[in-house]
Amino acid sequence: MKRSNLIAGTGRSVGLLMARMAVRRALRECPELLYRTAYILGAELPNDVDTTLFERAFELEFQSHAPDGPGRTTAPEFHYFIEDGGRERYRRNKPFEEFSLGKSITENQRLIAIGTPKHPLSEAFRTIAEAIVVVRPEQRHLQAAIKIARDFHLSDEIASELITSNISNLSIAFRGNRPLDAALRIINALGKAEQTAQPIVDVEGNAPSLDDIAGYGEAKSWGLELAQDLRDWKNGALQWSDVDRGVLLLGAPGTGKTVFARSLAKSCDAHFVECSLTKNQALGHLGDMLKGLSKAFNEARKNSPSVLFIDEFDGIGNRATLSRHAPEYATQVITGLLELMDGTEKRNGVVVVAACNRIETVDAAFLRPGRLERIIEIPLPDLQARKAIFKQHLQTDPPETILDEVGLLTEGCSGADLERLARDCRRSARRSGGTSVGRHVLNVLSDQFLKVPSSQLRRNAVHEAGHAVAAYAIRGIVATELVIREYFRTTNVAESRDGGYTVFSHDHSSFQVRSDYEDRIAVFLAGHAAEAILFDHPSDGSGLVAGSDLERATMIAARLIASSGIYGDLVFRADLTMAQLKRMVRDDEQFAKSCDLVLKAQMRRVRGLLASNMKQLEDVANALVKKGRLSREEISPLVQSNTNTI
Ligand code: ADP
Task: Tell me which residue has its CA closest to atom 16 in ligand 1.
Answer: 200
Mutate to test the pocket of ligand 1, among 259, 274, 384 (most ligand atoms within 8 A of CB): 259
> Given the CA of residue 258, which atom of ligand 1 is nearest to it?
6
Banded model confidence at residue 86, pLDDT cuts 50, 70, 90: very low
Q: Calculate how far, in angstroms, residue 422's C-alpha sits from the geometric centre of ligand 1.
A: 13
Q: In angstroms, rounded to a whole number, what is the distance separating the alpha carbons of residues 489 and 420?
A: 13
Distance CA 13, CA 150 (A): 10
Cβ neighbours for 198, distance < 8 A, ≥ 6 positions apart: 395
pLDDT score, position 89: 46
Q: What's the gap in Å between 507 CA and the centre of ligand 1?
A: 33
CA angle at 154 for the pair 149 and 156, rounded to the nearest 5°? 140
Q: How far is CA 99 from the centre of its chain?
A: 12
More confident site: 385 or 121: 385
Maximum mean pLDDT: which of 232-246, 566-580, 598-612: 598-612
Are 554 and 599 contacting, i.e. CB atoms less than 8 angstroms apart?
Answer: yes
Give the mean pLDDT of 87-99. Answer: 42
Task: Tell me which residues have their CB closer than 6 angstroms to ligand 1.
Answer: 200-201, 213-215, 251, 253-259, 355, 389, 392, 415-416, 419
Nearest CA to ligand 1 atom 15: 416
Work out the average pLDDT over 227-244: 88
Cα 113 to middle of ligand 1, angstroms? 23
Averaged pLDDT, 426-446: 74
- pLDDT beyond 80 at 222: yes
The single-letter code of the amino acid at 168 is: S
Q: How confident is the model at residue 438 (pLDDT cuts 50, 70, 90)?
A: confident
**Ligand 1 atom with the shortest distance to the CA of 251:** 3
What radius of gyration do the chain's Cα atoms show?
A: 29
* Distance from C-alpha of 423 to C-alpha of 572, rounded to nearest angstrom: 55
- Ligand 1 centre and the CA of 97: distance in Å? 13
pLDDT at 193: 55
Q: What pLDDT is stored for residue 82 in this prediction?
A: 58
All residues at 6 or more sequence positions from 48 whose CB lies less than 8 Å from its CB, including other chains:
116, 117, 118, 119
Span 260-309, pLDDT tens digits: 999 999 998 889 998 876 655 544 555 667 777 888 888 888 888 899 99
Instruction: Please report the pLDDT score of residue 521 as a whole number.
Output: 92
**pLDDT value at position 241?**
83
Atom of ligand 1 nearest to the CA of 260: 6
What's the predicted TM-score (pTM) here? 0.56
In this model, does residue 644 exceed pLDDT 60? yes
**Contact (CB, 8 A) for 386 and 410:** yes
Residue 390 CA to ligand 1 center (angstroms) comes to 11
CA–CA dist 578, 55 (Å, integer): 42
How does DSSP classify residue 438? Answer: H
- Max CA pair span of the chain: 89
Query: At residue 324, does pLDDT exceed 60?
Result: no
In this prediction, residue 128 has a pLDDT band, given cuts at 50, 70 and 90, of confident
**Ligand 1 midpoint to CA 262 (Å):** 11
Separation CA 90–CA 121 (nearest Å)? 10
Q: How many CB atoms lie within 10 A of CB 302?
A: 11
The confidence band for 608, taking pLDDT boundaries of 50, 70 and 90, is very high
- 151: which DSSP letter? -
Average pLDDT over residues 344-373: 83
* H-run or E-run covering 308: strand 306-311
Output phi, psi for 312, to 5 deg: 50, 50
pLDDT of 532 above 80: yes
Distance 202 CA to ligand 1 centre (A): 12
Atom of ligand 1 nearest to the CA of 214: 23
C-alpha closest to that of 390 among 258, 191, 399 = 399
User: Taking the CB of residue 477, how many other CB atoms lie within 10 A of it?
Assistant: 17
pLDDT at 439: 76
Query: What pLDDT band is residue 1 in, cutting at 50, 70 and 90?
Result: very low
**Ligand 1 atom closest to 311 (CA):** 2
Q: What is the pLDDT of residues 390-410, one digit of tens each?
A: 999 988 888 888 888 888 888
Residues 151-161, mean pLDDT to the nearest whole number: 84
Would the pLDDT of 605 be above 50? yes
Q: Read off the pLDDT of residues 449-479 as tens digits, 9 standing for 90 and up.
A: 777 778 888 888 999 999 999 999 888 888 8
- d(CA 68, CA 87) in angstroms, rounded, equals 37
The string of DSSP letters for 7-35 reads HTTTTT-HHHHHHHHHHHHHHTTSGGGGG
**Residue of 470 and 512 predicted with greater confidence:** 470
Q: Which atom of ligand 1 is nearest to the CA of 385?
A: 23
Continuous H helices in 66-166: 101-107, 123-128, 139-150, 156-162
Distance 413 CA to ligand 1 centre (A): 11
Please tell me the distance between residue 188's alpha carbon and the centre of ligand 1 in angstroms.
30
Q: What is the DSSP letter of 159?
A: H
Q: Which atom of ligand 1 is nearest to the CA of 215?
A: 23
C-alpha distances out from residue 31 to 64, 283, 589, Å:
13, 34, 56
| SS3 (DSSP) at 330 | helix
Beta strands in 169-245 (DSSP E): none
Residue 569, SS3 per DSSP: strand
Residue 321 pLDDT class (50, 70, 90 cuts): low
| Closest ligand 1 atom to Cα of 200 | 16
CA distance 2 to 21: 11
* Best residue for ligand 1 mutational test, from 84, 88, 97, 200 (most atoms within 8 Å of Cβ): 200
Distance CA 353, CA 374 (A): 10
Mean pLDDT of the chain, nearest integer:
79
Output the CA torsion 308→311→315→320 (10° steps): 60
Residue pair 141/159 in contact by the 8 Å Cβ criterion: no
